[in-house]
Structure 1
């Protein structure tokens, strides 16, 4: 009876152990299936996180940091939850297997072998999926970078064409300025040469005058000859002053409907004119020079002074200032020699005041040359002022175009900085979004080698800071500010990436921890 009871107890124990073993096997299978589904769900959530990261890359820079933190926090929470469930399942399996390890040791070994085989298969599938995703992302990144490079090259070609179109008018303008300066220099040299020739001609005329003085004294006794000689002297002096007939002066021009005809009308800038009339009143002076006694000489000199005063009155009565358009309120009376005027002034000291009262200015050859030289100098100053105004206009246009050129350079520099910043954002996204997930798989399954991430660019397009080409609206310190901002942005991205990797590595169990757990379960 005891033997029978013992056999029954043994049979019941065997049957209970078998039933427990089958129940444990079923629970382990269900736990393993649930763990596989959890892992697949984690993979799907990781893929969704990757897609969300790719979408976030195209969002605003402000949302990028928030989205990255939310995604990292969500992944970390899901990872913690999955690890917690795995730990709980393993704990329950270990407790159950501890109860049944005596009866089901061999089956546990088989289950361990199956688990290893499933882990190897899962590792192989994970490696293939990760490689495919990484290859696809790298291909997309390379395609986007190539497209960006092509767009940048096209934009740069357009800017180069715009610069060429801007430089060509500048080149033509500079050529025009150079041509005008060359012409002005030629005109100056020609004027200097003409002046030198006129001085030499005046010297020659003076020599001729000395030799012909005696002949003139005899010839000038006739009134017609005296008048013609005075006009000739006036013309020579005007030509000696560098003036040209019909350009700077007019001879014998009729005014006041033909009733008046001055000997000379000098043209001034601004449509102004000066009337010059030659008066040769020196018959009394010649008679005085030929007189034998002082009394006769004094009488003839007094007659010479009266004759000159009469000419002043006649010239004042003609009133050229009201008949010649643009003429000042005086008329120049030309006396061919200083000695004629000096002799009259000795006899009549009030002669000049009388002339001024009649709006007449008496001019001798020396004073008339000075007057005409002043007029010529005024003409030259007028021409120089016109040329200076033209040069100023050309320079202002040149400065305006250089300012536009500087604006184009500034725009091109900003576009280059935007391209570099976009590449750095893409590189940072690859490092913080994709490579992070790859490192998680590497931490889980021990994948090698690690993925290479292209480093961010540190080159910034710095605009020129020359005062002539740099636009006034752009801050000269802007390149330094841009460089500092880019460095700060890279430092923030690197710090966030390091923090994320640290949290993921801290949350994920290492390679040394999982074998220990399995060893404990095996024991």
Structure 2
């Protein structure tokens, strides 16, 4: 009975494994196959599945029969045990009834017959299971054979397809391979260039580091130097001079540096710059702004210390404004505008001062001080330079007006003289025409008689009188007395300019030549035949 159970379990495991193997093979076959072959394999697989299902059904029936036989055997054994017990009881009570013993023996025989029948059914079920297992093994072998052939054919087809695809892929990959080779070459060149650039960049970084270190040392030296009042003052004066020159001014002409003056209170002042205005007025500029606290603020890294130094810088700036307002520079020259310019030699200083003291301009204006950075001072000095240009233009205009008046007067004198010259020329023309008429009517007639007397054969030329009349001067400015014209700008008009006597000449004495003194121009005398 135990061997039968083990065989039955092995049969079930074999069926399950065979079904799993068939499913796996069919799955691979289904994945690899294609077209009609795949359909054929699917049909075979379906047939195999049907056979497996039938085998499973037979196994199930066999199992059911075996179970029923086992139940019957168990029942028979139980009945046999009960019969043995009854036999024992019957033997114990043999004396009670021989008839009962016979019946019990008959029952035992019947039960034994049932056991034999159950054993026979069990043997038949085992034989059927063995047949089913043999059929399953044959089916699995046949399926393996068929699937192996299909797989071989499909593998050959797949190899051919793979070879064709490999060739096509190789053809497609050839341009890509060439591109990759070119890319590798280009990448090599780029790598070489990158190495060269990295080397050059490293050199440049070293140069920048060296320059930065040198700049840091120079900055520290400049910061240390600017802490000295003399150096700070010289730097401010240099910046102030550059700003004045950028504004178009000339030293010792439009401005003066370090000019010493005395105020009305007998106080000696020496501003850094003294800008000359028109009409002898001046504007004073001071460039001594306190920088020590500002430099300390730039050098510290602690924020609280920096704010402390900046607050001290703002306090020093306001104190410098108060000091400049108390010096009263404008009292050194009467008429000078009552303010002094506090020059901040750097835009950053001016920005920081205005940030710390927003009302710095109002505070300084209340003390007659104007705060100016380089940009604002350039605009201010350009305005002064423009005023100088306008003053020079006004002076030039006055000189032009004076010269114009003098020229006007001289033109009047010259016109008067030209008028006299024209009258003299008219008298000369009249005398010439009269002489020509007298010569033709009296002298030439007598002279031609020599030709008639054959004294000479030469012909006497004819004389032509002047018929073009002289043009009279019509402009009143040239004939009127120019001294009567009032002066516009400049000196007063005089009765006679120094050059007038040099332009006047005496009239030519032509009346002795013709014997006539009439001022009228005689009509031209025409030649008589």
| TMscore range, shorter length | 0.3 to 0.5
Which of the two has greater helix per residue? 1
TM-score by length of 1: 0.41
Larger Rg, first or second structure (1 or 2):
2
Higher relative contact order (CA 8 A, sep 6+): 1
